[in-house]
Amino acid sequence: MELFNLGKTAWQQSQLIYHSLARQGREALVLISPASAYVCIGYHQNVAHEVDLAFCRRRGIPVFRREVGGGAVYLDGGQLFFQLILRGDNPVVPPSKDGFYRKFLEPVIDVYRRIGLPAEFKPVNDVLVNGRKISGTGVGEIGDCIVFVGNLILDFDYDMMSRILMVPDEKFRDKVKKTIEDNLTTIRRELPRDQMAAWDEAALNGLMAQAFQRLVGPMETGRQDAALERQMAVLKQRMLSDRWLHGDAPARSRSEVKIRSGVTVKHRLHKAAGGLMRADFQMAEGRLTRIAISGDFFCYPARAVADLEALLEGGSPAECRQRLTAFCRRPEIEIPGIGPADWERLLDLAPPLSE
């Protein structure tokens, strides 16, 4: 296996190199970070629905579509990427998705613990420190290889992350930013300032190289030879084109942003007989929180919606369905044309088929 410890490079290279190595069937670990910022979307995403392209153009921020799943992310030099390329028939690859993440996130967790952070694995693919996510990861199949990508997060621009997203309104954007700040942390945020000086990019990449080699075996220094350069040039022409960026991708009927495993911010619309209903809320560990309801419907008394938001706060879907039924039966509440089923649809509370 090859080791490419490249440090800061052009942002395009930070994506093209692992796509190219996988196509050539070359097993490798790449340690790299972009010299300038860009936005990267998942393979199955629709860029026009996920990213505020007009904002990115105004700010000169490139947008790239990778061949690995996951969501839209704002990437810059504060994030140190690891990219592990393994052939699909390599016996070190566990057969299950859960086993894969558990095994190959071990080096990341080890490095965080080596620098004094109490990192822990949270299924399916998160690394948490003090309850907050501190590494974003994804897996994809490229050619005959499995590619595992992720990062160590030295620092993070929460404002830019919320700003590059295509969201229905600024109220929802503020909610996304606050949720990201509450659920994603960084080395700089967690470590005392006097300890940060010891952990620059070179030191952290050195620890990452050691940790991965303990897991998968020794590596030799990778060479960006002529074959790899040719492959990257071919992919650059294709993957930096508008055709690739806007290529086949699903339409999106609803707005939501996954922050980490178990935490998603959602925006929902529902047209009921009584009027258009809107809701912004967070689904956190199976419970509804930070609920904001509005719409064009008639409601008496006026503060009934605020009472409903408070009533539902912190409830599981099953609990919220019960609370909604009781709320709609209250004789002093009048909301013509809107019943429990409308609220359930608005707030994603439909019971599972097994119930």
Res 71: pLDDT: 85
Using the predicted structure, report yes or no on whether residue 299 has a pLDDT greater than 90: no
The pLDDT tens digits of the residues spanning 25-83 come to: 999 999 999 999 999 998 888 898 899 999 999 999 999 999 988 889 999 999 999 99
Look at the chain and count its residues: 355
Using the predicted structure, report yes or no on whether residue 250 has a pLDDT greater than 70: no
The pLDDT tens digits of the residues spanning 300-330 come to: 887 889 999 999 999 999 999 999 999 999 9
Res 131: pLDDT: 94
Res 142: pLDDT: 93
Q: Could you tell me the pLDDT band of residue 355, with boundaries at 50, 70 and 90?
A: very low
C-alpha distances in Å from residue 196, one per residue of 186, 199, 204: 11, 5, 11
Q: What percent of the chain is predicted at pLDDT more than 70? A: 97
Using the predicted structure, report yes or no on whether residue 196 has a pLDDT greater than 60: yes
pLDDT greater at residue 140 or residue 164: 164
Q: Hunting for tokens 């409601």 — which residue is that?
A: 299
Beta strands at 2-9 and 28-34: parallel, antiparallel or unpaired: parallel
Res 345: pLDDT: 92
Res 273: pLDDT: 87
Neighbours of 303 (CB within 10 A): 10
Q: What percent of the chain is predicted at pLDDT more than 90? A: 78
- Tell me what the mean pLDDT of segment 215-227 comes to: 96
- Alpha helix (H) ranges present in the chain? 11-23, 47-50, 53-59, 97-104, 106-114, 158-163, 170-183, 187-190, 193-196, 201-216, 226-239, 242-245, 304-312, 317-328, 340-346
- Tell me what the mean pLDDT of segment 226-239 comes to: 97
Using the predicted structure, report yes or no on whether residue 85 has a pLDDT greater than 50: yes
pLDDT greater at residue 62 or residue 337: 62
Q: Could you give all domains of the chain from N- to C-terminal order, each with its CATH number?
A: 2-245 (3.30.930.10), 262-346 (3.30.390.50)
- Tell me what the mean pLDDT of segment 271-290 comes to: 91
Neighbours of 312 (CB within 10 A): 24
Res 253: pLDDT: 44
pTM for this entry:
0.82
- SS3 at position 234: helix
Q: Which residues contact 15 (CB under 8 A, 6 or more apart)?
A: 40, 64, 66, 239
- Tell me what the mean pLDDT of segment 267-289 comes to: 91
CA dihedral 338, 343, 345, 351 (to 10 degrees): -120
